[in-house]
Amino acid sequence: MRLKLLAAASVALMAAACAMPTGPTPSTPIEAAAPAADHAQLLEDLRILSADDMQGRDTGSEGGAKAREYIVSRLEALGVQAPLMGRLQPWEMQGRSPTGPRTWNGTNIIGLIPGTRASDKYIVLTAHYDHVGVHEGQIYNGADDNASGVATVLEIAQRLKAEAPEHSVLLVFFDGEERGLLGARHFVEAPPVPLSSIALNLNLDMISRPETDKKLWAVGTYQHPNLRTLLEGIAPNGDVSLAFGKDTPQDEGNDNWVNASDHAPFHAAGLPFIYLGVNYHPDYHRPSDDFDKVIPAMFGSAAELSYSAFRALDRGLSR
């Protein structure tokens, strides 16, 4: 999610307005492109999480619970352990709804992959699994927003199980993002590890539709320029390249994404963050944000860039 109160028409206009890249072009690539990967599981996770039987994955709904069961089953299949506090982090928070403020009950999902070099420092890799549910009989499947981020985190988790990260990694799938970043706010208020041990939040939200401008935007390097030096060398993948921006004082209104998703509570707590996401597209926050709109090669490229970003940050942080 990024803007929930905007009319769909203005969102579509904004997508057009946002299409001008504002960041500089990436410098000469220093990392080889990842080898061609099999994205069958990535696409299967996306398809399952955005299917009609998930009913738009609203917080507290049966569809949300079904999505949660699926994510837990995938973590267990991958052999990703639970942290000491347990796999699930339930919460009750005040949030928003189409009819005004209300109390929401949600559940974050957490996995832990121990690091090799800096195991007492954590990268918190996040994606929200909730979406906005069903309205007027129409299911908002939220394929891009944000089944795509969940599928990408699961893909990264699979690779980290094969080649361990340097930092310990908390994989966190947030609930209640669409209702006011509720799961992320709760996590920062009641973290499973001390906030002082969190080196970075890398947040993935809307990863599968980079076709608007063929960019995956990395937000937060204005606030943390040292992180930009770690990411600049990442080569484009297929037709998609990493871009920097949407985070400066000149990026105004809905073109500034510093507080647009679950990284915002981490930023507010003074923790470094990078947010990865694609530009607005015509299906954003519409019932048409469906699996069949996703171009597999485009999603695959954006997922590979996300993976490369994770590795570059993991290797470069606190060196």
Q: Provide the binding-site residues for Zn ion, judged by CB under 5 A.
A: 1, 145-146, 205
CB of 214 to Zn ion, least distance (A): 20
Instruction: Report the C-alpha gap between 218 and 23 in whole angstroms.
Output: 10
CB of 130 to Zn ion, least distance (A): 8
- Residue with Cβ nearer Zn ion (141 or 146): 146
Amino acid at 35: P
CB of 131 to Zn ion, least distance (A): 7
Instruction: Report the C-alpha gap between 158 and 225 in whole angstroms.
Output: 29
- Residue with Cβ nearer Zn ion (143 or 156): 143
- Residue with Cβ nearer Zn ion (121 or 291): 291
Instruction: Report the C-alpha gap between 246 and 239 in whole angstroms.
Output: 21
Burial class (CB in 10 A: 0-12, 13-18, 19+), 103: exposed
N- to C-terminal Cα distance for the chain?
33
CB atoms within 10 A of CB 88: 13
- Residue with Cβ nearer Zn ion (112 or 217): 217
CB of 93 to Zn ion, least distance (A): 17
- Residue with Cβ nearer Zn ion (50 or 146): 146
CB of 275 to Zn ion, least distance (A): 11
CB of 268 to Zn ion, least distance (A): 18
Instruction: Report the C-alpha gap between 53 and 37 in whole angstroms.
Output: 29
CB of 296 to Zn ion, least distance (A): 21
- Residue with Cβ nearer Zn ion (1 or 157): 1
Residue number closest to Zn ion, CB atom: 1
CB of 281 to Zn ion, least distance (A): 13
- Residue with Cβ nearer Zn ion (183 or 192): 183
- Residue with Cβ nearer Zn ion (165 or 176): 176
Strand duo 198-204 + 273-277: pairing: parallel
Instruction: Report the C-alpha gap between 219 and 21 in whole angstroms.
Output: 13
For the record, the structure tokens of 319 come out as 């060196």
